[in-house]
Copies of this chain bind each other. A is one copy, B any other.
């Protein structure tokens, strides 16, 4: 009887995971539809990878951590791919330097697509058998892994198209799917020019106290979300929406990038050594002064600042987020303040599923709702927390232990997902992380302050 229950659970898990696998794999390909094989070769900055590499590496992940171990009789699609598309798993195999990925003209895109089909067929075969529960876990991990690369693929393509002096557009406005969900039917309205009418920022108070943070429940999570543990929080308040381009432009116009006293020391060094004057994709017309004339490059093409003044600012580094907060008289939240506020809320917002592919105007906040709507989506939110292991953190066994743990040094935590994060991927305990100088992500600013 118990065994039957266990079997039914396993059957259901298998069905659910098979479904998830299929959808994730399909979406990855859909994201590549606007791209040519040539587009998928570009690696425009050291952080980025070519889109073709993302296609291949996500297949490699399933092949290396699922099929090799769990599908008996599995034939490697191409033994060279085992090391060629390894990203950074030292204990799995050697791998090429990251910068070489732009030289992978071979294998051709066609061959990479066949690689994906070969792997898909393998996973399907495995799912049709009675797979080891560990295999199922690995497939689920692989689906989540691929969703991370979906997001990276889009951020990398934005960088690639910004780097191309012709500045091509990934997707024109207006052809995104318009979904029926309330608040989502506005099409690209989020990107249209309706003047700067962002709702004023309000702060919502939280009590703090001894709270539990970290993942809870049976659902999927990464190893870095565990163990769930207690933290003590002083009372605090969080802004009910993100900082907008228009607000950020006021900081720029006020000499924000010329006043060392507003910045962390390492941030000020970054400003000076890189010559930062605005967020990453903001460009100025010749002869413009700092008061304006900014154009902002997006996956939907260039936008005038005036058009999107009430849209959350994106592509800022932690240093810029921190300096903005200091200038505005606030601070950034810790990751635990964020998580304690988000836990239990519905996961909705401008995520990848909205297909807007850019942050959308904050005027659309329903005044009858609390801040929940803007809890998730639009931009990852820099926190003031360094990315470290939780008390008692244990990485996964084997090479997969390198997935998250070895990066717990020199990076800051971001929370909440962005307009290119799949909705199924995000949750309140999810920890994204990047070095403080990183700017090519959809990363923005939520303000916090102490309450007393």
Residues of A within 8 A of B (CB): 36-44, 52, 80, 83-84, 88, 90-91, 96, 100, 102-109, 160, 163-166, 168, 210, 229-234, 260-261, 263-268, 318-319, 322, 334, 384-386, 388-389, 391-392, 402, 406-410, 436, 450
Contacts and interface: CB of A to CB of B under 8 A. Distances in A.
B105 A160 contact: yes
A227 to B, nearest CB: 9
Contacts of A40: 38, 105
B38 A163 contact: no
Which 9 A/B pairs are nearest by Cβ-Cβ distance?
A386-B386, A41-B41, A38-B105, A90-B260, A39-B105, A103-B163, A265-B406, A264-B409, A230-B232
A42 B39 contact: no
20 contacts: A36-B37, A36-B106, A37-B38, A39-B105, A88-B265, A100-B163, A100-B165, A104-B164, A210-B210, A229-B232, A230-B232, A234-B391, A322-B409, A384-B389, A385-B388, A386-B386, A386-B388, A392-B450, A409-B436, A410-B410
Q: How many copies does the complex hold?
A: 4
Contact of A267 (B96, B386, B409): B409
Contact of A165 (B39, B96, B108, B234): B96
Contacts of A107: 166
B265 A103 contact: no
Contacts of A319: 409
A103 B41 CA distance: 8
A389 to B, nearest CB: 8
B103 A160 contact: yes
Contacts of A102: 41-43, 102
A103 to B, nearest CB: 4
Contacts of A318: 409
Contacts of A104: 164-166
A109 B38 CA distance: 8
Contact of A406 (B41, B44, B263): B263
Residue picked from A160, A261, A436, most chain B C-beta under 10 Å: A261
Contacts of A268: 90, 406
Contacts of A80: 165-166
A91 B232 contact: no
B105 A164 contact: yes
A317 to B, nearest CB: 11
A104 B36 CA distance: 12
A261 B402 CA distance: 8
A108 B37 CA distance: 9
A168 B107 CA distance: 9
Given A210-B232, A388-B384, A164 B103 contact: yes
A250 to B, nearest CB: 22
A84 B388 contact: no
B39 A37 contact: no
A408 B388 CA distance: 15
A96 B105 CA distance: 23
A434 to B, nearest CB: 13
B229 A231 contact: no
Nearest to A409: B264
Contact of A407 (B44, B105, B265): B265
A449 B389 CA distance: 14
A409 B197 CA distance: 35
Nearest to A263: B406
Contacts of A37: 36-38
A129 B387 CA distance: 51
A304 to B, nearest CB: 21
Contacts of A91: 260-261
Contact of A90 (B261, B266, B388): B261
A77 B234 CA distance: 47
Contacts of A109: 38
A334 B388 CA distance: 11
Nearest to A80: B166
